[in-house]
Structure formats: structure tokens, C-alpha cells
Amino acid sequence: MQIRSLGYRTDLALLQAGGSEISDHGDHLVVRSPHNPTHWWGNFLLLAEIPPAEAVENWLKRFAAEFPEADHCTFGFDGIAGRVGDLAGFAGRGFAVEAQTVMTAGSVHPPRRRDTTAEYRALSSDEDWAQSVELNMRCNDTFDTDYHRGYVTSKVSTQRRLVEAGLGRWFGAFADGQLRCQMGLYRAEPTLARFQSVETDPDFRRRGLAGALVFYVSRFGFDELGVRTLVMVADPDYVAIDLYRAVGFVDTESQCQAERGDHGVG
């Protein structure tokens, strides 16, 4: 299956590099992450296109057959211009549906508002990576704690393996020695690098940390990874998208997805 979506293409490249398995069934891919079965977007079906509403039931059965132990149900849809309204067949069955914005940048500039007091650097020590887990927990404190911690711990281990494999780095903004903002950047293809998991401590938002860190990490992508294009996927209805635009990212595609489950971990 030839992937048109820049968002999903880079998603799949990094998932595979992190140990996920991808099998091609012609009109869809099965993406499986045995090392982290609670990662919704590491265990999903990627369909070649958004199916008509009458075909949704058959896809639900296919997902259940592929992931009989899963307590979630997740579908991605290849394409570059999908809209939320196109996913009505899934929304009608209780799915949360999204058309995220795929953004790209071939150059960046400093945002007008940025924090200059924090320390911006790559994570390196065991303590740094432990702080990464705790920051994610603070940013997602509405989830079931035990369930989410297991997912996050496994996800952070995967991110660290990607760093150790030389694909990129995970970065943080530290205030008084504490990790307050984090994100990763990894090479997905020779000329493409993909941002991962931009998160800021709820008590440290709107201080210019994230904008400064996005710019810092972007320069790493161009200067050290040697890529030509950076890829970011953002919620079009969340304020962070304006932060990415302020650094130089532009809206390029849309990426459609549908998810449903009991625990609320995506």
C-alpha cells in the first residue's frame, strides 16, 4: 500500500524503527506494537481511504479479529485532504474523530515570545528520562494513573531506543533543574524529520518555553540531522498550532483518524 499522507508516512517510519510491526493487506495496513500493547496509535489499522458508512461494521470486525485483546479501537485513513465530516460513519458509532493538521517547515525563525532563562538541551541521563515520564503524567492527569503510567513508561523507553539508534534526540526545557517542556525530533526519511509529543507542564504554560524549544530543536534538525523538511502534526483547534506557525511551520495536509476505548489513552 503506497502511503500518500506525509503524517502517516513519518508515523509509520518511526513506529517501525521503534520495534512496531507493519503488515500490508493491500487496502489497509495492520500496525502492531507487541512491546506496548496499550499504545493506541501503535496498534491500529491504517486504511487506504475513508470507507462509506455502510462498510464501517466490517472494519470493526476486522479490527477485533486483529486485536482480540485490545480495549481500544483505532483507525487511521490515508489521504491529504480529509475532513471531520467525512468520518460520520465512525462518529455515529461512538468514535472520537479528528482531522489533524500536518505542518511542515523548510526553515524556521525565533518566535517573538520565548523564554530565555530556561536551559534547553537534549535528555541524556537516567534521571532526565525519568523526568520525561513524570512530565507526561502531569500533562495527562485525567487518565487512569496505573494504566497510563505503564503506557508512558514503555513509550519513553522506545523514544530512548530511537535516540540510542542515532535517529535523533529528545529535548527538554529545564527550569531550576526540573523538566518543564519536552519534545523529540527523529529522522524519518533521509530528508524528513518528525517532531514527537510536544508537552509543557500545566504550571509553566504561556511562558514561551515551548516556542523557544521548538525553535531550538528545529535548528538541530537542519544543522545536525541534515534534513530539509520538518514535519509536525497538530490539533487545528488547540492554541499550540499558532505557536508552531510563529516559528515558521505552515499547514500542508490533514490527517484523519478515529478512536474509541475505555481508558482514554491515545
* Cβ(249)–Cβ(233) below 8 Å: no
Distance CA 4, CA 213 (A): 29
pLDDT score for 162: 97
pLDDT score for 142: 76
Spatial CB neighbours of 114, under 8 Å, sequence gap ≥ 6: 208, 209, 211, 212, 215
Residue 263 has φ and ψ, to the nearest 5°, of: -105, -15
The angle formed by the CA atoms of residues 223, 224 and 228, to the nearest 5 degrees, is 60
User: Which segments of the chain have a pLDDT < 70?
Assistant: 263-266
pLDDT score for 145: 78
pLDDT score for 8: 98
Distance CA 184, CA 172 (A): 9
Spatial CB neighbours of 245, under 8 Å, sequence gap ≥ 6: 103
Residue 172 has φ and ψ, to the nearest 5°, of: -145, 155
pLDDT score for 266: 46
pLDDT score for 265: 47
